[in-house]
Every structure is written in structure tokens, then in C-alpha cells.
Amino acid sequence: LASSGIEVIPQEYVRPQEELTSIGNVFEEEKKEEGPRVPTIDLKGINSEDPVEREKCKEELKKAAAGWGVMHLVNHGIPDELIERVKKAGETFFDLPIEEKEKYANDQATGKIQGYGSKLANNACGQLEWEDYFFHLVYPEDKRDLSIWPKTPTDYKEATSEYARQLRGLATTILSTLSLGLGLEEGRLEKEVGGMEEFLLQLKINYYPRCPQPELALGVEAHTDVSALTFILHNMVPGLQLFYEGKWVTAKCVPNSIIMHIGDTIEILSNGKYKSILHRGLVNKEKVRISWAVFCEPPKEKIILQPLPETVSEEEPPRYPPRTFV
């Protein structure tokens, strides 16, 4: 659709009138200097020998998780060279001819959600989103279905597998810090979301083509992530917006960073002490935007999510009823 040369987008992509007033030019939005800004957390000190440095870093991370629920992570320990390989592999896949990509097509109707697709299912408002995606489980390794991983480019499997392994380690570090921030023992949150064996990492590469009428469409509509944590890379084209203090705030592009969201799962376990922020994706006329989102999730149906007893008191009763992760 995007490459056909159309100048008017089909009606099913046009957002409802009440949303249109808040959709601006993402490049202009990103340039704005005034207003709130998504925090940047430097993780260099998180395992420092210096206890003051270590505590300062952990305090900043906890504060960002409680106040925003989203942050740019820098000095996160994952090599830039590996991240570039992951991005290159994803970009190469989406550059393939459509018939090549279709070989990996998913089939929502039969429950085969892994693979290549567009958002064919109607969303909350019945409108479609301006994106294609590739979705598959990347960790633990014994739960992967490698038959649906792209064969082209040849580096896709190796780069993506290594990135998932390293990201899994980063998730442990973050969950430890968030546990301590709640006054819990270090490994508690990780244990609550499935531990080393059951905690799942699902990769969704989002491809947002150029859009002839970006002021009328969204790449992804407003939502919160149901995951415990979400880690996002992107190709340095702005698009992510966060709903903060009643306004949409555009995330700046921070070089060599990974964006991290607190998901609904951690918000529930922490009884709302950490926030899962509403966010959406804008599109534009000039540049293709690609993002690599890894959703770190507890196993479906196996774990009952509810506020941990230590986060509940008479003054702060449970804010969420028990539920399974779906």
C-alpha cells in the first residue's frame, strides 16, 4: 500500500476525530526543547565497586520507573556492534520482496501468531495501524521455533540469538534493582514472573512505512504493554510518544540507547508503585521507521498476577484483582 504511490490513505487507516487533534509532525515534536522529557538512565554505575555510585544509579532507575515507567538506558553493557547487526538483519528482511516475506506469514485465524504480518485484527476503535511486523519468541532457546525465523539474511539467527541472551541478563539486573526498590529481596520479581526457565522474551520488529497523510494515521495506537518489561531499539527515526501528565510527549532519539518500558505485569506486582505508561507510535512522510521491541513476559496461565503482599497495607489496599497473564 505504502509503495503503490497513493496520496490519500484508505478510510480504515484514518483515526477517529477526537484523536486527530493530538497528532502532530513528529520531526517538529522531537525538536521541542520545552516540556517534560523521558529520563535517560546511565547504567554504568549499576554494578560499580563504589557503593555510593551504585546506589545513586539504582535510585535513579527506581525513580524513573515510579514517575514515568519508561526511560532511555545508556551504558547498558550490550555492545553497539551487536545492536547494529540486529538492526541490519531486521532491515534486510523487510527490504526483501513481498513474496519472500509472505513465506513467513502468520495466520491469526488459526492461532499461529508468530511470523510476518500486518495488524489484520480490528483494534479498539476498529481502525487499522500503519505497520507491518515480524513477531517471534527469542528466549529461552529451547522454546524457540527456528523454522519460522528468517533464513535471509544469514546473520539473522546468530545476531538475534546473541542479542536475546544478553538482553535476558540485562532484564535480571533491572528486575533485581526494581525488587530492592520495593524493599523485597533481590530475586523476588524475577521469581514472580517465571524465573530463569519460564520468563519469555518475544521479539516484534515493527516496520512503519512512509505515510502520505501522517497527520491522519498512527503506526500503533495508544496502549500499555502487558509485559513485565519491554526493551526497544529503533533506527533513530522519531515516533514514540508517551502520555505523561495529560499530554503526549515525543521521545527524543538518544544514540546508543535502549528504551525500556515498565509493563502492566510489574505495575500489578508493585501495586502501582511502578508505572506502565500509555504510549503510541506516530508515522511520517519522509522516513521509514523500524523498531525492535522485546517483550519480557511471564508464562501464560501459569502465574497468578496480583499485588505482592509486601506492597499492600491498610493505607494502600490492593489496586488490582488477581488475574493470569494473557
Q: For this structure, is 279 an active site residue? A: yes
Catalytic-labelled residue, pool 63, 157, 223, 287: 223
Instruction: List the catalytic residue out of 63, 157, 191, 204.
Output: 204
The full 3-state SS of the chain, as one line of letters, equals CHHHCCCCCCHHHCCCHHHHCCCCCHHHHHHCCCCCCCCEEEHHHCCCCCHHHHHHHHHHHHHHHHHCCEEEEECCCCCHHHHHHHHHHHHHHHCCCHHHHHCCECEHHHCECCEEEECCCCCCCCCCCCCEEEEEEEECHHHCCHHHCCCCCCCHHHHHHHHHHHHHHHHHHHHHHHHHHCCCCCCHHHHHCCHHHHCEEEEEEEEECCCCCCCCCCCEEEECCCCCEEEEEECCCCCEEEEECCEEEECCCCCCCEEEEECHHHHHHCCCCCCCCCEEECCCCCCCEEEEEEEEECCCCCCEECCCHHHCCCCCCCCCCCEECC
Candidates 225, 234, 264, 275; catalytic one? 225
225 is catalytic: yes
Active site residue 76: no
> Strand 240-244 relative to strand 40-42: parallel, antiparallel, unpaired?
unpaired
Catalytic residue among 72, 76, 87, 279: 279
Rg (CA), the chain: 20
Q: Which of 64, 36, 72, 90 is nearest to 232 (CA)?
A: 72
Q: Which residues, listed in sequence order, are joined to residue 258 by a DSSP beta bridge?
A: 73
What would the grid cell of residue 122 be? 480490528
Cite the active site residues. Answer: 204, 223, 225, 279
